[in-house]
Amino acid sequence: MATAASAKTRRDWNEEYYQVLQSDPLHRGQKLHELSLEFMSVASALGQVIIKERHLPLSKKTIKPLSCLGIAGGEKYLHESIFFKYAVDKNHLFGSDEFAMKVAGHELKGQTAMVSCGMIHGLNFGLMTIIDYRGYRLLATSSLPISHETLVYGSGDGGQTVHADLSEMNHLIKQCAAVLNLKGHVAGVNNEPDKNRFLYGPCDIEGHLGHDGRLYVVDLARLFPPESPSRDKPGAFLYQLLRPELVSRFRCPLSSDAFTLFGHTDNKVHDSEVHEATRYLHDKVIPDFARTLTQLDAKDDQDLRHAMLLAKELAASSMPLTLSMEIANCTTSRRSIEWLIEDLHRAGINSMSLSPPLIASVKAARTNSQFLSLSLSLSSSASRLCTPIDDATN
C-alpha cells in the first residue's frame, strides 16, 4: 500500500490527476495525455536509478528503500511522490520471479478493468506504470492519501480482518462487479463466520476512504478468478488468472477467491463454477479461435500466414518440439505477433496457451519496443487511455 506520509514528497501526482479529471471536458483528454507522459517519464528515470543501484550498499544508494511494507514482493521505495515495488518472489509465494512479474502485470490489468467502470461512479485510482529494465520489473504508482486507518473494504492482513464498513464503497464495488461479472461471496480466512464479510472481488482488495475524503481502490492483482489450479503449481492461483474478456462473457458471475482459503465459505460452488469456465476456455474458446484463424484467406498477407501457423500450433498441443521451433523461427513479423496477441486477448485467451518456443518468440519480438505501460481513465466516459505491456505469458 502506497501512503503519502511514508517519506518527504515533492509533487502531488494524485492531486494533479484529480484536478485534470475535474477540468473542462474539451481539454481534459490533452491534459491527461500530457500528465501521463510526465508521470511515465519521471517514473522511468527514477525506476532505472533504483534498478541500477539494486546491488549497492544501502549507504551508497541515492534512493533509499522503505523499511518494511507488506509481505509480498521485494524492496519498496517512495520518491518524488511515486511508490515503487520490485516484482520479485522474495518470500516464495509465487514460485519464481517470473511469476511475480506476472502478478505485477495482473495489478495493472485489474486496475485498468476497475478504472473502466469505477471512475464513472466515483471511485478513484492512482496513476500506475510498469517499468521493465535490465531483467527486473518495477510497479510504480502515484502516492495516495491512504493508510491502514483509512481501510473500509477488503483486507490488509491476509484475510484475518475483513472490512465492508462503508455502504457507499460497498455499493460502488458491487456495481463494478456487475459490469465485470464477478461474484459476491463471503471472504476471509476465519472459521468464525461473523469475522468474515460479504465482498465483491478478492478478499485482499483494499478500498479506502482517503484522508482527502475520496474513495480509493488499490491491490487489484487478484481481481479476476484463477484458472483451475494444477497440483504441480501450488501458487498458480496468484498468477494464472482468467482474462477479463472471458469472465465478462461467461454464463454466470465468478468468484475472485475461488480455489483459495479466502473463499472457503461455499467453496465447492465457487470452485465448480470457475472450473467450468476453465474447461470452457480450453475445450471451446481456444479450439474455436484456432479454427477461425486457419479459415482466413491469407494468400496475399504474409502476416496472416504467420498468424495461421501460430494458430495451428495452438490447436495441436502434441506438436513435436522441433516443428514448434520451426514455426517460432519463421514468425519474425512483429505485426503478425501483435495481431495474434491482441486477438487472443480479445477472445479471452492468455498467451500462455502458446508453446514455450512461441512464447519465447513473442517475448523476443516485443522486448526492444515495449518498455512502459500506463493505465489511466477519463472520468467523463470511463474510456481507457492505456499503452500496455501484456506479458507474453499473460
pLDDT, mean over the chain: 81
Number of domains present in the structure of the chain: 1
Confidence at residue 6, expressed as pLDDT on a 0 to 100 scale: 44
Whole-number percent of the chain with pLDDT over 70: 74
Higher-pLDDT residue of 10, 287: 287
Confidence at residue 10, expressed as pLDDT on a 0 to 100 scale: 75
Q: What is the pTM of this model?
A: 0.81
Contact 373, 387 (CB under 8 A): yes
Lowest mean pLDDT among 60-69, 241-250, 344-353, 376-385: 376-385
Quick check: 2 pLDDT over 80?
no
Lowest mean pLDDT among 26-40, 69-83, 85-99, 184-198: 69-83
Residue at 76 is within a domain: yes
Lowest mean pLDDT among 55-64, 228-237, 331-340: 331-340
Q: Residue 34's domain spans which residues?
A: 13-142
Q: What is the pLDDT of residues 149-181, one digit of tens each?
A: 999 999 999 999 999 999 999 999 999 999 999
As a whole number, mean pLDDT of residues 301-309 equals: 56
Which cell is 106 given? 495482473
Quick check: 209 pLDDT over 60?
yes
Confidence at residue 381, expressed as pLDDT on a 0 to 100 scale: 31
Which cell is 58 given? 544501502
Residue at 283 is within a domain: no
Confidence at residue 108, expressed as pLDDT on a 0 to 100 scale: 93
Q: What is the pLDDT of residues 211-240, one digit of tens each?
A: 999 999 999 999 999 999 887 777 888 999
Confidence at residue 67, expressed as pLDDT on a 0 to 100 scale: 76
Quick check: 300 pLDDT over 80?
no
Residue 96: which pLDDT band, with cuts at 50, 70 and 90? Answer: confident
Residue at 132 is within a domain: yes
Q: Give the Cα-Cα-Cα angle 52, 76, 378 (nearest 5 degrees).
A: 100
Residue type, 266: D
Residue type, 92: H
Contact 224, 242 (CB under 8 A): yes
Residue at 192 is within a domain: no
Residue at 97 is within a domain: yes
Residue at 182 is within a domain: no
Q: What is the pLDDT of residues 313-335, one digit of tens each?
A: 555 544 433 333 333 444 445 55
Residue at 364 is within a domain: no
As a whole number, mean pLDDT of residues 345-350 equals: 90
Residue at 45 is within a domain: yes
Residue 343: which pLDDT band, with cuts at 50, 70 and 90? Answer: confident
- Which of 81-90, 244-253, 279-288, 384-393 shows the highest mean pLDDT? 244-253
Confidence at residue 312, expressed as pLDDT on a 0 to 100 scale: 55
Beta bridge partners of 50: none
